[in-house]
Structure 1
Amino acid sequence: MSGIEIGLASLAAILVLIYTGMHVAIALALVSFVGIWLLRDNPEQAARILSLAARESISSYLFGVVPLFVLMGLVVSRADIGRDTFDVANRAFRRIRGGLGMATVGANSIFAAITGISIASAAVFSKVAVPEMVRIGYSRRFAAGIVAGSSILGMMIPPSLLLILYGIIAEQSVGRLFIAGIGPGILLSVAFCVGIWVMLRFFAGFTGTPQPVEERKMSAGAAARDTASKLLPIVALVVLVLGGIYGGVFTPTEAGAIGALGAIVIAIAKRRFGPRALWGVTLETGHITAAICFLIIAATMYSRFLALSGLPVFMTQWIIGMDVGVYGFLLFYIAILILLGTILDSSSIMLITLPLVLPVAAALQMDLIWFGIITVLAVEIGLLTPPLGLSVYVIKGALDDRSISLNDVFAGAAPFALIMLLALILIVAFPWIATGLL
């Protein structure tokens, strides 16, 4: 077999192994080892190449950003700051049609800016927002769909773990990726709020007919103090982390450390965090970081194997020879990402596809920061699509309401997946949405 044939066979082998239940990192490492063995006809040389890839993949100082932002996100989640953001957003949107749904989107936007983890948002707001929306008249599927749709903001609004992962794989500035995520994040938040209003106005059979939220009796001064006590710590943490990065005060890794410490201090000050909780969060951070570390090592191994096979060069020449242009390539690429999103999780999709497509994107002289935003948003659509919409499964698992089926959550999330696709089209058509602040 030629190197190109071995490379193509590896793609099929990886998909088969993952679909049969093998962990994606193990599948990538195994296929890489066997592939290099076949290319070099020497198992010892394959082992040496892969051990070198493993050592180099996580030796970068930048990699320290992963556990630090994971720790910050978990502390914020455990300290019940999600409920605080929901209360503040609910007070702001109370008088608008669909205000509680918009409050969920707004709270998720704020929460995303201090966690960067979609799954954390999905778990928190399933418990906080869905029961409240159902109580005032939203249909169960629409309430769950709002949480599912808005939870993906955690991977677009910085800091985002997927943007960090893309930055490591593509060797791009994480700080610039964070800045590029602001415009698309705001666009998605506004589009979700507009979508909620339109659906409530014209599709009441799908959304239900919510009644105005009863305002808790509270003096103006007491309401202002309550809002300030809940909002100021959140704003302070966002300004500390993102302001430090954008202002050039911190590197992303340093900002992660400062943010983690700030989150712990805020949680302790609110008396929602003790030594036992800190120990539990630290262990969970270690587990998540180890999993991400293994994925990055496996992705680096697979990249080395593909480079040896010659498949990326072949694909680059083939696509350029077809003369489909930037937009033709993006159309094909986005369709593949969304299709893979029906069977794989976000990080797996990126780890498999990026080593192949980054050389093509570079050859087409595409801005790799803009390309990263397109990649993350297209991949995130997969979190809402069956049969493996990860956010949908998290929401179903977090809900105590057995009357909300998995199909209900998928049905409720479908309009938001469509809104995300429309936003993605806008970002492709108008790159300045992502790159305007750079």
Structure 2
Amino acid sequence: MESFDVGLLSLGAMVILVYAGLWVPFALMLCSYVGVWIIKGSPVLAGKLLALAASETISSYFFGVVPLFVLMGYVVSVTGMGRDAFDVANHLFRKLRGGLGVGTVGANAIFAAITGISIASAAVFTRIAVPEMVRHGYTKQFSVGVVAGSSVLGMLIPPSLLLILYGLLTEQSVGDLFIAGIIPGILLAMIFGGGVLLMARFFPRFVGENITPPDDIDPLTARELMVKGVPIVALIALVLGGIYGGLFTPIEAGAVGCLGAIVIGLARRQLSARDFWQVLTDTGLVTASICFLIIAAQMYSRMLALSGLPAGFGDYVATAEIGYWGIILAYVALVIAMGTILDSSSIMLILVPLMLPVVSGMDVNLIWFGVVTVIAVEIGLLTPPFGISVFVIKSALNDDSITLGDIFRGAAPFALMMVFVLALVLAFPFLVTALL
């Protein structure tokens, strides 16, 4: 059997195993090991090659950024900064009809600029925003939809865990990827906010026909605004300002951000020893999961390289007559389709190593390609049947009357808005590269 055929069969086997319910890292590792075994003819050599791939991956200096930003996100979550962000954003947009929905979007954008984890945003604002919106007359379906939709901002607005993962996979500058995500992230947040206002105006039955009038919502006092807003602004300025100002690398920024979040939590007396132990435990679990995924993906990439499948696929695409845009659009469609069954990290770990040789040969800007990939992947967080953000929201709710179907329907307009933003980024690459 030719090496190319082995790579093709292993790819098909991996897809079958994933659909059958096997955890993605196990499917990747198993197919990688068997594939290298068949190509090299030695199970011992296959084990050594994959062990080397694992060792090189986990010992990478750049991998240190993952646990640091995960830790910072969890510290921010338990210290009440999520509620503070919601209160500040709600204060800013309180005079608009649908302003509480816009405030939820704004709070998610602020929270994203601190944590970079969509799941954390979904969990935090399900507990904070949904009860408040329902109390002020918004429908339950729209309330959970706003939280689900705007939670994806955590993976686009820097610092973003997915952009970090893409940088590790493609050996691109994480700092450049963060800068590239600024304009698309702000654009998406603005379109979400505008969409909420339009829905409140033209689709009142969907949003809520008895929304509390803006004049009946009490504003924050100047002192409350300072107490709630200053720590958030300070932490964002510390992390992003340090990166963009050249004071420290993204990895160092993660460490400084963790320290800053801990100091703020202790100063506000909102970070107990018990909370901190839980934060460390959750960080360890998430980091271990991501680490396992990355190791499996590197094994998978090594097997693909040995089989010659990426090179062969690249030659096929180069000689096909679908053209540049045909390739890009087919890739985007595949990413969105895979989002219906897989989580974000798994999609990137499976597809990016396969497509990287192809787009590199086409002289595609890999920073732009990374942002396109992240937006397409994030659409999958809102699409059934998987939609991991939707499941996180359901698990965080204390209301059994809200079904998964309600959350998916509520999030559908935001998924369409994301498709629109993706189209803009594809048509106008300068939206990504303007600040580089």
Q: TM-score, normalised by structure 1?
A: 0.97
Q: Which consecutive residues of structure 1, in runs of 5 or more, have no partner in the other structure?
A: none
1:386 alignment counterpart: 384
SS of the residue 2:114 aligns to: helix
Q: Select the residue among 367, 370, 373 that pairs with 2:371.
A: 373
Q: Which whole-Å CA distance do the structure 1 matches of 2:390 and 2:301 have between them?
A: 31
Alignment of 1:102-181 (within 5 A): 102-181=102-181
Deviation at residue 205 of structure 1 after TM alignment: 2.2
Deviation per residue, 1:270-315 (Å, 9 max, x gap) = 1110122112211211111111111111111000000000000011
Deviation at residue 106 of structure 1 after TM alignment: 0.2
Deviation at residue 214 of structure 1 after TM alignment: 5.8
Alignment of 1:147-296 (within 5 A): 147-209=147-209, 210-213=211-214, 215=216, 223-296=221-294
Deviation at residue 200 of structure 1 after TM alignment: 1.4
- Structure 1 residues 36 and 69, CA gap change in structure 2 (3 angstroms): same
For 2:69, give the aligned amino acid: F
- Structure 1 residues 317 and 217, CA gap change in structure 2 (3 angstroms): closer
Deviation at residue 409 of structure 1 after TM alignment: 0.2
Q: In the alignment, is the contact (CA less than 8 A) between 1:326 and 1:366 conserved in 2?
A: no
Deviation at residue 216 of structure 1 after TM alignment: 6.0
2:59 alignment counterpart: 59
For 2:57, give the aligned amino acid: S
Q: Select the residue among 337, 350, 353 that pairs with 1:352.
A: 350
For 1:147, give the aligned amino acid: V
Q: In the alignment, is the contact (CA less than 8 A) between 1:325 and 1:364 conserved in 2?
A: no
2:43 alignment counterpart: 43
Q: Which whole-Å CA distance do the structure 1 matches of 2:312 and 2:97 have between them?
A: 54
**Does structure 1 residue 68 correspond to structure 2 residue 68?**
yes
For 2:396, give the aligned amino acid: A
Q: Which whole-Å CA distance do the structure 1 matches of 2:201 and 2:195 have between them?
A: 10
- Structure 1 residues 105 and 217, CA gap change in structure 2 (3 angstroms): closer
Deviation at residue 80 of structure 1 after TM alignment: 1.4
Q: Which whole-Å CA distance do the structure 2 matches of 1:202 and 1:237 have between them?
A: 38
Aligned residue pairs: how many?
Answer: 435
For 2:403, give the aligned amino acid: S
Q: In the alignment, is the contact (CA less than 8 A) between 2:94 and 2:217 conserved in 1?
A: no
For 1:240, give the aligned amino acid: L
Deviation at residue 15 of structure 1 after TM alignment: 1.8
Deviation at residue 215 of structure 1 after TM alignment: 4.8
Q: In the alignment, is the contact (CA less than 8 A) between 1:123 and 1:395 conserved in 2?
A: yes
2:19 alignment counterpart: 19
**Does structure 1 residue 305 correspond to structure 2 residue 306?**
no
Deviation at residue 327 of structure 1 after TM alignment: 1.6
**Does structure 1 residue 318 correspond to structure 2 residue 316?**
yes
Q: Which whole-Å CA distance do the structure 1 matches of 2:359 and 2:124 have between them?
A: 37
Deviation at residue 22 of structure 1 after TM alignment: 1.6
Q: Which whole-Å CA distance do the structure 2 matches of 1:217 and 1:138 have between them?
A: 17
For 1:192, give the aligned amino acid: F
Q: More deviation in 274-283 or 227-236?
A: 274-283
Deviation at residue 20 of structure 1 after TM alignment: 2.1
For 1:211, give the aligned amino acid: T
SS of the residue 1:86 aligns to: helix
Identity of aligned residues (%): 60
Q: Which whole-Å CA distance do the structure 2 matches of 1:268 and 1:301 have between them?
A: 42
Deviation at residue 213 of structure 1 after TM alignment: 4.5
- Structure 1 residues 90 and 47, CA gap change in structure 2 (3 angstroms): same
Q: Which whole-Å CA distance do the structure 2 matches of 1:424 and 1:124 have between them?
A: 26
Q: In the alignment, is the contact (CA less than 8 A) between 2:96 and 2:214 conserved in 1?
A: no
Q: More deviation in 387-396 or 4-13?
A: 4-13
- Alpha-carbon RMSD across the aligned residues, in angstroms, is 1.2
Deviation at residue 201 of structure 1 after TM alignment: 1.4
For 2:212, give the aligned amino acid: Q
Runs of at least 4 residues off by over 2 Å: 213-218, 323-326
SS of the residue 1:115 aligns to: coil
Deviation at residue 59 of structure 1 after TM alignment: 1.5
Q: Which whole-Å CA distance do the structure 2 matches of 1:424 and 1:8 have between them?
A: 30
For 1:166, give the aligned amino acid: Y
Deviation at residue 323 of structure 1 after TM alignment: 3.8
For 1:57, give the aligned amino acid: T
